[in-house]
């Protein structure tokens, strides 16, 4: 178990529907990082942008292999979502890849109907919590942020991790809800968004952030391409929860 977890979150201007260009971009960004990072977080659909046209560019394993290679080289876990194809179906799939090549997946549950995501991508059916270096990390994707019941902390997770392509016109909601998820779940909350125009001419302005269990800002990026860093502390999390045991007062109900 590691008492500290060093995070690097890469806020990027994604190249539209161009996996090779994005791979090269993130190669450079990751290669520039220091060697003491435990977890590197990339945005939602980091190889393509939030596209509804996966038919010819959905990943069939190439980007996963790249993630495994980078995780091994850097000795860091790498996390982010990809459009993937499996058995003729498409998924917006979050990958969490450990340095030894082991990987965990979460299929996005709440599909963004305003963009027609529910017509293209299959729906996830389960919550996924990864144990990495003794830290329990809940995986979530973009629109999931609006639905607090699905991220409700009944499993004693330590970190909730959101990757996104969240547009500028609704950035106030993104910024506010990230802090709310940290506060209500008494956990660290990491939100990694993109910047720049996508292929549908929607503008994204980032606002990636890392927050502690009381909603205080540990790291934040506004409207530029930027990598932000933070160190999470298990001792600080435990101390806060022991002093303010709010989770013990949650209502009991089941999600079906």
Strands (E), the chain: 4-11, 39-41, 77-86, 89-97, 103-107, 129-132, 135-141, 159-163, 188-192, 195-197, 203-205, 209-211, 217-220, 226-233
Catalytic residue among 15, 70, 98, 108: 108
Phi, psi angle pair for 54, to nearest 5°: -85, -5
By three-state DSSP, how is residue 152 classified?
coil
pTM over 0.85: yes
By three-state DSSP, how is residue 200 classified?
coil
For residue 22, the model assigns a pLDDT of 98
Taking 70 as the pLDDT cut, the residues of the chain under it are: 255-256
For residue 212, the model assigns a pLDDT of 98
pLDDT tens string 106-128 = 999 999 999 999 999 999 999 99
Angle between helices 19-31 and 62-74 (to 10 degrees): 10
By three-state DSSP, how is residue 69 classified?
helix
Catalytic residue among 15, 17, 44, 117: 44
Distance CA 115, CA 52 (A): 8
Active site annotation includes 44: yes
Active site annotation includes 169: no
Catalytic residue among 142, 179, 187, 189: 142
Active site annotation includes 20: no
By three-state DSSP, how is residue 229 classified?
strand
pLDDT tens string 7-50 = 999 999 999 999 999 999 999 999 999 889 999 999 999 999 99
């Amino acid at each position: 178990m590691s008492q500290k977890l060093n995070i690097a979150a890469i806020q990027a201007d994604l190249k539209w529907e161009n996996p090779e260009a994005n791979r090269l971009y993130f190669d450079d960004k990751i290669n520039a990082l220091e060697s003491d990072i435990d977890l590197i977080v990339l945005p939602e659909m980091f190889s393509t942008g939030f596209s509804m046209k996966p038919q010819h560019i959905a990943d069939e394993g190439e980007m996963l292999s790249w993630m495994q290679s980078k995780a091994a080289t850097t000795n860091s876990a790498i996390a982010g979502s990809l459009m993937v194809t499996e058995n003729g179906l498409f998924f917006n799939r979050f990958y969490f890849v450990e340095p030894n090549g082991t990987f965990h997946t979460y299929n996005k549950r709440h599909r963004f109907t305003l963009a027609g995501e529910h017509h293209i991508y299959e729906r996830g059916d389960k919550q996924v919590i990864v144990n990495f270096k003794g830290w329990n990390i809940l995986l979530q994707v973009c629109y999931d942020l609006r639905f607090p019941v699905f991220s409700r902390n009944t499993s004693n997770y330590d970190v909730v991790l959101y990757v996104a392509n969240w547009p500028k016109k609704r950035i106030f909601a993104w910024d506010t809800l990230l802090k709310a998820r940290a506060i209500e779940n008494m956990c660290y909350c990491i939100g990694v968004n993109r910047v720049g125009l996508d292929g549908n001419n929607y503008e994204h302005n980032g606002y990636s952030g890392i927050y502690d269990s009381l909603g205080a800002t540990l790291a934040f990026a506004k409207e530029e391409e930027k990598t932000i860093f933070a160190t999470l502390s298990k001792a600080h999390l435990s101390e806060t929860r022991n002093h303010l045991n709010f989770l013990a007062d949650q209502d009991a109900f089941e999600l079906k």
